[in-house]
Structure 1
Amino acid sequence: MERPRIVPIFFMGILVWCCLAASANASTDYMKYKDPKQPLNVRIKDLIGRMALEEKIGQMVQIERNVTTAEVMRKYCIGSLLSGGGSVPAPQASPKDWINMINEDSELVKRIGAATALEVRATGIQYALHLVSRDPRWGRCYKSYSEDLAVVQAMTEIIPGLQGDISPNSPKGVPFVAGKNNVAACAKHYVGDGGTTKGINENNTVIDMHGLLSIHMPGYYTSIIKGVSTVMVSYSTLNGAKMHANHDMVTNFLKKTLRFRIPISLSSPLDSSPPHANYTYSIQAAITAGLDMIIVPYNYTEFIDGLTYLVKNSFIPMSRIDDAVKRILRVKFMMGLFENPLADESLVEYLGSQEHRESAREAASKILVAGSHADNLGYQCGGWTIEWQKPTQCPFHGQGLQSSLPSRTQLIQDSIHMETQGDSLNLTIPHPGPSTITNLCGTVKCVVVVVSGRPVVIQPYLASIDALVAAWLPGSEGEGQGVADVLFGDYGFTGKLSFTWFC
């Protein structure tokens, strides 16, 4: 029987990097930028000199795959595409979430990163997006590694897994991708979006500089040292100032103080408050602050027109545009996209390979710490699995975790984890979880397995529960295997809580 193909999807979506075509008026003579033997800076300078303003601005734009056509790519010289959900190349996905809460096993995390790179690259995708969360009420808490800075820094080992091992002599702050079997990684969201007031998505983070540098910044330090290829700026607010317009934190600190030479991007929305009150000003503020790439999934023509107007009328200098495009091209040249722009079909054999599935199963077994929707595997994977906000109808190969558990073991599911809609001010277990615990555990000895991407309030039910297991989001290999392996005694409980639970 043909085995199912499983495509690991990481970090809040996937970007497809597109190679830039030569300028229409470019000479047909020898072009240095096409010669891989030329030094990187020489290739960048040569190509920049051949590009028109429209081509440069196109490189700074990322649009949604579902609205893309060949005509759009040619007309607007689009630099990259966003696969924001519902457009994956296979009907099954192995989620990122099984690596997020592991028992600080950095070697396993690196292996998973390498497996992800192979499978993602096989599909033609060359860029994988990859938070300290200080407030579990945040709906995106499941995307973060831990509230513990040491755990977050240890988990950055995913970067050399995705990109390859960086040379000890490699300069810091410069992107690194080892070869065509690797992908570019992105650290996000810079900075402090995991510490917003009450955990509300896109809210304000109130913190002094010492707290910011000691709590939210260390993961970025480590990521830069390991050669991460890009950083994505948050559209949350820091002490009342929108991060995507924060010149001091983006240009002065990240680019100048940390000497970060890689492109800095922004996930949409790029807008003002109230929404769309002055979109042109929002464009100017973001680009002037130092952002190099902007995700504008659908209204890209408005963004392109606005940025073109601002440059042609000297509101934004051409030097700022050139700086942005140089950073983008540096990563693309480093990745070898001009030499290998298409999917490598020889890597297809790695899609859903047994070796990779075993790594996923090992991860699922290691995250355990000693329901409703129990047979829907989508709920056990979280958002950004098949679709952006709706993981409930994912056509996985299994029937879900509940069907594989021992008798008198009940699965309890937290609310769906997604952006904004997943925010919870009280962290209570949603209906019918509480009544399920009461009805089952009030009559027989029972084990409760909590599937969640964050801590939930469990204290009211502890007296009636004989054993409690935090399974986090175990992913597709958690179904029937990773979690059940531990519950049946094949493996011991080795996980450690990466977040504080309220017991």
Structure 2
Amino acid sequence: MVKRGLKHSILTGLTLLALVGTSIGGPSNTVDARGKEKIAPYKNPKLSVEKRVDDLLPRMTLDEKIGQMVQPERNSVTANDIKVYGIGSVLSGGGSLPTTGNKPADWANMVDDFQRGARSTRLGIPIIYGIDAVHGHNNVYGATIFPHNIGLGAANDLKLMKRIGQATAEEVRATGISYTFAPVLAAPQNIRWGRTYEGYSEDPKDTGKLGSALVEGLQGEKNDPDFLKGKHVAASIKHFVGDGLTEGGDDQGNVTEYTEKEIQKHIKPYKEAIKAGARTVMVTYSSINGLKTHGDYHMITEVLKGELGFTGFVISDYNGPQQIAPNDFRESIKRSVNAGIDLFMIPNDWRQFITTTKELVAKGEVSESRIDDAVTRILRVKFENGLFEKPYADQDLVAKGVGGAEHRAIAREAVRKSQVLLKNKNHILPLQKKNSKIFVAGKKADNMGYQAGGWTISWQGGSPQWMGKPEKDLIPGTTILEGIKEKAGKNTKVDFSEDGTGAKGHDVAVVVIGEPPYAEMFGDRDDLGLLQEDIDLLNKVKASGVPMVVLLQSGRPMILTEQLKDMDALVASWLPGSEGGGVADVLFGDYQFTGKLSFTWPRNMEQINTHDKTNPLFKKGFGLRTK
């Protein structure tokens, strides 16, 4: 192969254009015998995806290929960086918002600016922008926020899951983004894990069905012409594999208690979702018998790409590869590339990744064929995603915005279907609407920060300053208190107290308790007992003598065996998101309770720590009806 510098010094005019148009590193278009420009095959949407990939890949230099393999954080990269380095992807982590604001137009303008940088490169390869839209487009103010996955597991409605996926995809596209890091396909086996609420169920079979349905909603049906395009987005099933199986439920921990045969059960949801069309897979931070999965060739290349036949791209988790060999960046990158990672979510150190990977190839420690495999997979998804034809935001969708009535109605339906009635002494539920006095207690009854949980506006949820005090008006929507007042009507008196003062004299008290917002790394717990503030609240209302209906907002079952005897009714409300009115729908009997537990509810911490499910407080699948 002639060096590029020599080519440019020797060849001129039309001869140059005609030759380099088909050579490695040449321009994207060619000219015919008359000197008229011809569109390069990879730019022709009438050709198959594979033919377009096969045409584009040989045109790329090694630098351009490696550039496609990096995904920086939006705050550490510019449009000019994308142009200079040929960067293939950009992401927003949790709470990483446009500098101009948090409306759909702000997002669309930011993404389009990055896209213009990509389109101005020699080959014009678009970026694919990724974001954690894990229960709706949860970074964006005004978006519809659906219940977290544990609640959707209790609802167990496949058609509803597809509709949620479709609604989420449309809102993501309304911000110019075409790729979401969702859904989680873990089936958590130890609820101490702080990401339990991201799992649909402890049963991998349930997880596979529900996760696959969401994938189809996000991406569209595999054989449809608009698959991944238009109002659909690319999904990322995660985290492959075993992140719900770690010792003690530790986040980013080690899997040692499960045999390879048992782990196979947790691979099946990925197989099912891939069959449904999932086009990207994110790797887990966790280890299996001490080997970080980001460096596990067997799991990524032999199992995922080989046995499961996965043809999309494999993406790392946020700085995940660097955990393989701590303090040895070069070794970490070498092992993760060779293990089969294709796209590297490397927020800040992306320049170092580019120089390191180029050096590894030059020294023969990473093969060019491995680079070609990674880039082939990335380009394949980009073509499928429609980015070469429509790289910029759809302004009609941007103008339509997010959080419309139709999507909120879907979310409200999901909320009411996710509610699980665990106790109903003397048929206290449904609540009476006429001529009754209802007392609502607990600050969590009227606070969107608590109600939506983690991964809402910010990474850990609660407020824009993550780990801060949960904000009442964090997102637009309806709180549980507002939903109760709306449903109760004019003939019912509804009083509210954050600390439970003033319950006496009412017909019934609705007491809302639960966990504060949290996400990965900060959600692991050794003790899943109720917070002392919630115990104090329950005791105060109990002392009034008013019957208690308790709503538990949480990301997992909590230990409340001692308190249960004082409750007349108990409802697992999970983390319902923006449409708290769905809770009121079932409290007042306008809709029947249909939710069933997708996790075993333990009596005590001993049962959690020993995986003892023989005599739980409530079995998986339990859920009462009011009639």
Give the aligned partner of residue 231 of structure 1. 281
Give the aligned partner of residue 474 of structure 2. 395
Are 1:112 and 2:164 matched, yes or no?
Answer: yes
Give the aligned partner of residue 384 of structure 1. 455
SS of 2:390's equivalent in the other structure is coil
Query: Equivalent residues in 2 for 1:93-242 (5 A)?
Result: 93-98=143-148, 100-102=150-152, 103-130=155-182, 131-155=186-210, 156-167=212-223, 177-206=227-256, 207-214=258-265, 216-242=266-292
SS of 1:343's equivalent in the other structure is coil
Give the aligned partner of residue 364 of structure 1. 415
In structure 1, runs of 5+ residues without a counterpart are: 1-22, 171-175
Quick one: structure 1 residues 31 and 162, their matched pair in 2 at CA, closer, same or farther if it must change by over 3 Å? same
CA deviation profile, 1:434-492 (whole Å, cap 9, x unmatched) = 111121123321111000111111111011111101001101012xx111111122111
Aligned partner of 2:480: which letter?
Answer: L
CA contact (8 A) 1:58 1:304 kept: yes
Give the aligned partner of residue 431 of structure 1. 532
Aligned partner of 1:55: which letter?
Answer: E
Q: C-alpha displacement at 1:374, in angstroms?
A: 3.7
Aligned partner of 2:386: which letter?
Answer: G
Quick one: structure 1 residues 374 and 246, their matched pair in 2 at CA, closer, same or farther if it must change by over 3 Å? same
Give the aligned partner of residue 437 of structure 2. none
Query: For the residues of structure 2 that align with 1:417 and 1:290, how far apart are their CA atoms?
Result: 31
Query: For the residues of structure 1 that align with 2:259 and 2:519, how far apart are their CA atoms?
Result: 28
Query: Equivalent residues in 2 for 1:301-380 (5 A)?
Result: 301-348=351-398, 349=400, 351-370=402-421, 371-380=442-451
Query: For the residues of structure 1 that align with 2:370 and 2:591, how far apart are their CA atoms?
Result: 55
Query: For the residues of structure 2 that align with 1:71 and 1:166, how far apart are their CA atoms?
Result: 35
Are 1:473 and 2:523 matched, yes or no?
Answer: no
Are 1:459 and 2:538 matched, yes or no?
Answer: no
CA contact (8 A) 1:447 1:465 kept: yes
Aligned partner of 1:491: which letter?
Answer: Y
Aligned partner of 1:385: which letter?
Answer: T
Quick one: structure 1 residues 372 and 135, their matched pair in 2 at CA, closer, same or farther if it must change by over 3 Å? farther
Query: For the residues of structure 2 that align with 1:101 and 1:113, how far apart are their CA atoms?
Result: 15
Are 1:61 and 2:70 matched, yes or no?
Answer: yes
Aligned partner of 2:205: which letter?
Answer: A
CA deviation profile, 1:259-282 (whole Å, cap 9, x unmatched) = 211111111223556974211100
In structure 2, runs of 5+ residues without a counterpart are: 1-23, 31-38, 105-139, 422-441, 463-469, 485-493, 496-508, 603-616, 618-627
Query: For the residues of structure 1 that align with 2:385 and 2:548, how far apart are their CA atoms?
Result: 52
Quick one: structure 1 residues 324 and 232, their matched pair in 2 at CA, closer, same or farther if it must change by over 3 Å? same
Aligned partner of 1:501: which letter?
Answer: W
TM-score normalised by the chain length of structure 1: 0.89
CA contact (8 A) 1:118 1:350 kept: no
Aligned partner of 1:132: which letter?
Answer: A
Quick one: structure 1 residues 183 and 111, their matched pair in 2 at CA, closer, same or farther if it must change by over 3 Å? same
How many residues are paired up? 472
Query: For the residues of structure 2 that align with 1:382 and 1:137, how far apart are their CA atoms?
Result: 16
Give the aligned partner of residue 263 of structure 1. 313
Point out the more displaced range, 296-305 or 133-142.
Answer: 296-305
Query: For the residues of structure 2 that align with 1:107 and 1:268, how far apart are their CA atoms?
Result: 32
CA deviation profile, 1:148-180 (whole Å, cap 9, x unmatched) = 223212202011111111239x9xxxxx93532
Query: For the residues of structure 2 that align with 1:428 and 1:415, how far apart are their CA atoms?
Result: 13
Query: For the residues of structure 2 that align with 1:411 and 1:318, how far apart are their CA atoms?
Result: 58
Aligned partner of 1:494: which letter?
Answer: T
Give the aligned partner of residue 136 of structure 2. none
Give the aligned partner of residue 515 of structure 2. 414
Q: C-alpha displacement at 1:133, in angstroms?
A: 1.2
Give the aligned partner of residue 251 of structure 1. 301
Are 1:490 and 2:590 matched, yes or no?
Answer: yes
Query: For the residues of structure 2 that align with 1:238 and 1:95, how far apart are their CA atoms?
Result: 34
Q: C-alpha displacement at 1:25, in angstroms?
A: 4.6
SS of 1:476's equivalent in the other structure is coil
Point out the more displaced range, 298-307 or 249-258.
Answer: 298-307
SS of 1:464's equivalent in the other structure is coil
Aligned partner of 1:161: which letter?
Answer: G
Higher relative contact order (CA 8 A, sep 6+): 1
CA contact (8 A) 1:142 1:417 kept: no
SS of 1:189's equivalent in the other structure is strand
CA contact (8 A) 1:57 1:321 kept: yes
Q: C-alpha displacement at 1:350, in angstroms?
A: 5.9
Aligned partner of 1:475: which letter?
Answer: G
CA contact (8 A) 1:415 1:422 kept: no
Query: Which one has the largest radius of gyration?
Result: 2
Aligned partner of 2:215: which letter?
Answer: I
Query: For the residues of structure 1 that align with 2:181 and 2:270, how far apart are their CA atoms?
Result: 14
Aligned partner of 1:387: which letter?
Answer: S
SS of 2:301's equivalent in the other structure is helix
How large is the Cα RMSD of the aligned pairs?
2.1
Aligned partner of 1:331: which letter?
Answer: V
SS of 1:125's equivalent in the other structure is coil
Q: C-alpha displacement at 1:258, in angstroms?
A: 1.6
TM-score normalised by the chain length of structure 2: 0.72
Amino-acid identity (%): 42
Query: For the residues of structure 1 that align with 2:357 and 2:288, how far apart are their CA atoms?
Result: 25
Query: For the residues of structure 2 that align with 1:239 and 1:321, how far apart are their CA atoms?
Result: 28
Q: C-alpha displacement at 1:99, in angstroms?
A: 5.1
Give the aligned partner of residue 448 of structure 1. 550
Aligned partner of 1:303: which letter?
Answer: F
CA deviation profile, 1:83-134 (whole Å, cap 9, x unmatched) = 1133154423333434542321100111111111111112111011212111
CA contact (8 A) 1:139 1:421 kept: yes
Query: For the residues of structure 1 that align with 2:482 and 2:376, how far apart are their CA atoms?
Result: 53
CA contact (8 A) 1:92 1:395 kept: no
